[in-house]
Amino acid sequence: MTSPRRVLIAGGGTAGWLTAAYLARVLGHGKPTCPQITLIESPEIGTIGVGEGSFATIRTTLQTLGLDEETFLREATATFKQGIRFADWEKKDSWYFHPFDPPYPVEGAGLLPYWLLQDEATRLPFAQAVALQKKVAETQRAPKRLYENRFGGALNYAYHFDAGKFAKLLSRHAISMGVTHLQGRINDVKLAQDGSIAGVVTDSHGELNADLYVDCTGFAAVLIGKALGSPYKSVRKQLLTDRAIACQVPYARPDAPIESYTVSTGHEAGWTWDIGLDVRRGVGYVYSSDHTSDERAEEVLRNYVGPTATDFSTRVIRFDTGYREQQWIKNCVAIGLSGGFFEPLEATGIMLIEVAIGMLTEYFPHAGPIDANATIFNRLMTLRNEKLVNFLKLHYCISKRPESFWRENCDPATIPDELNELLAMWQHRMPSRFDVLDDIDTFAYFNYQYILYGMNFATDLSAQRDSHPKIAEAKAIFDKVALIGDQAARDLPTHRALIDQVYNHGYAEPPAQRFMSVKR
């Protein structure tokens, strides 16, 4: 086909507007070769809007869009996220931290073998022993200083944000780059003789035609599902949750500390998320309707929130975890919930949108046959989704909790074959970079390590003890990590202080630049 001159995005929200802004920016808005991009959304259809967390890749995405970090923080009322604190997942009264920072860099096998060979009764938690971010986050410090580079800093980080405000920021930015915004409902989809989409019929703009259609209509999947019939592959047998109940909880006082990590707490039939924004927390309970009722789920959520639970309303969101193996058919690409949905355990929702739009721009059909691009796109997205099922399942299947929900999650029949094989191998060797594929796996091998050893998975390295003789050197590095962590916890500003400063005044100039400005 010739290069698409018209791109129609069906649906707004984070998926639609992030796609619109990204395509406009990367394909060269304002230049003759950039296609005309139109987004149509219905004001009557709300968004899911519970995805208030992100993965560290969002910083690169925002930079690609040309958005300033200060503008994003203010307008999306965003805060910093340094990882996830998992409480009561292994068992009640247990917890571990999954930081964004990788373990402290060491040549060879790294620090993990020396940690595993230490006395279990006296060694530090894995994340604390090998990375300084746990100490920084748990002392409510920010991941950067006021004067450090935009989108950079001492530690790796992502954001928590208001999903609705983020979508509005993206819409304004996309429109400023020439994206046409239409409001209306799609009532029908017309197909051409070859099975591609010929046009969409709307209630207020008649028939709209394009060369490439992007389905961002969420669970409705109006184009990819209803019109083109792409089948949905449920993974409910592996990932058992199918409902979420969400609410917003205001802080007791305006200067309340803001946690710079998501708190994920295990419960009898699922888990709660707890995300700190500037003036409120976003809290929700993800659960399995096979193991509890909606009424009991709301009771669990209100008990978790505590005394203020009488002051908010909740809403139940039903979902079927899974994905479409064909997310690109003919001239239609699905991005966001129309392509698949995974519970928001590791901020996978927006991250999968980022992956999809990045691949779409790479495989954008500027010329030549479109089907070849679609085949590669579908294969890579399917592989990524399969790996993601493994990673999410790992959080559940090594739990020691006694409730039926957790016991069923640990049943080998619910564990993907590949993950079962890896777990068997990891009993006798550490997870390595060869267990994951960088261009397919969303998460790195050390992310698997943080979960496994945060939940006290047993890897027996006794037969390999002689392969790791640098015990004294490793101890010195463990001590160094602890020392740097203590220093960072003292020197970095509190999370609340940094957020308030950026909201009200912006970042400061680095000390050298301030000196040079005065000198001039």
The dihedral through the CA atoms of 130, 133, 138, 141 has a sign that is positive
Asked if 277 and 160 touch (Cβ cutoff 8 Å), the reply is yes
Asked if 347 and 158 touch (Cβ cutoff 8 Å), the reply is yes
Q: How far apart, in whole angstroms, are the C-alpha atoms of residue 382 and residue 273?
A: 27
**81 tagged catalytic:** yes
Residue 385's CB: how many other CB atoms inside 10 A? 23
Asked if 48 and 317 touch (Cβ cutoff 8 Å), the reply is yes
The H-or-E segment that residue 334 falls in is: strand 332-334
3-state secondary structure 259-305: CCCEEEEEECCEEEEEEECCCEEEEEEEECCCCCCHHHHHHHHHHHH
Q: What is the DSSP letter of 307?
A: G
Q: How far apart, in whole angstroms, are the C-alpha atoms of residue 491 and residue 142?
A: 10
Q: How far apart, in whole angstroms, are the C-alpha atoms of residue 440 and residue 443?
A: 9
Token pair 């939940």 is found at: 455
For 27-67, where are the alpha helices, taking DSSP H only? 58-65
Nearest by Cα to 165 from 72, 79, 98, 249: 72
Interacting residues of 518 by C-beta distance below 8 A, sequence separation 6+: none
Output the CA–CA distances (angstroms, integers) from residue 243 to 132, 284, 310, 389, in the order listed. 35, 10, 22, 17
The dihedral through the CA atoms of 223, 228, 229, 230 has a sign that is negative
Q: What angle do CA 55, 61, 67 make, to 5 degrees?
A: 120
| Selected catalytic residue, list 31, 81, 91, 330 | 81
Q: Which long-range contacts (CB under 8 A, 24 or more apart) does 119-123 make?
A: none
Catalytic amino acids? 81
